[in-house]
Amino acid sequence: MIDNEIKKALECLHKRILKSKFAEEVTETEIMGLVNSLDLINRLRAENERLKQPASASFLFEKAKLDELSTRVVEFESNLKAKIKAEAYKEFAERVKEKIFPLGMVVDNLLKEMVGDK
């Protein structure tokens, strides 16, 4: 049986129980079980319909924010690498100047060419 047939059968059973002379013999718990079964089927059908829908606007908005954040992290990483590299050049130049004083001006000029500042 498919879910529509099951739902119809449960609804018919519920109506027949309520109309029959045996209604007094059916407990409230049994009737509630039947009603709860119908409710469950309806909720599951609604959930299935919701899942068939395309991605919601809020999901797409969150994805766009995540993509933007990812781009910013990549840019930050690139900038950080460039700064670390510049600092390494500067530190190397300072060490060379300490060891070989006469070449200090040459090293400063070379550093300016490589990094762009002092």
- Count the neighbouring beta carbons within 10 Å of the beta carbon of residue 66: 10
CA dihedral of residues 16, 22, 27, 32 (deg, nearest 10): 0
Rounded to an integer, the average pLDDT of 93-107 is: 70
- Asked if pLDDT for residue 24 goes beyond 80, the answer is no
Read off the pLDDT of residues 50-62 as tens digits, 9 standing for 90 and up.
777 777 777 888 8
DSSP 52-113: HSPPPHHHHHHHHHHHHHHHHHHHHHHHHHHHHHHHHHHHHHHHHHHH-GGGHHHHHHHHHH
* Residue 23 pLDDT level (bands cut at 50, 70, 90): low
CA distance 45 to 42: 5
**pLDDT cut 70: percent of the chain above it:** 80
pLDDT at position 26, please? Answer: 66
Q: Give the pTM.
A: 0.38
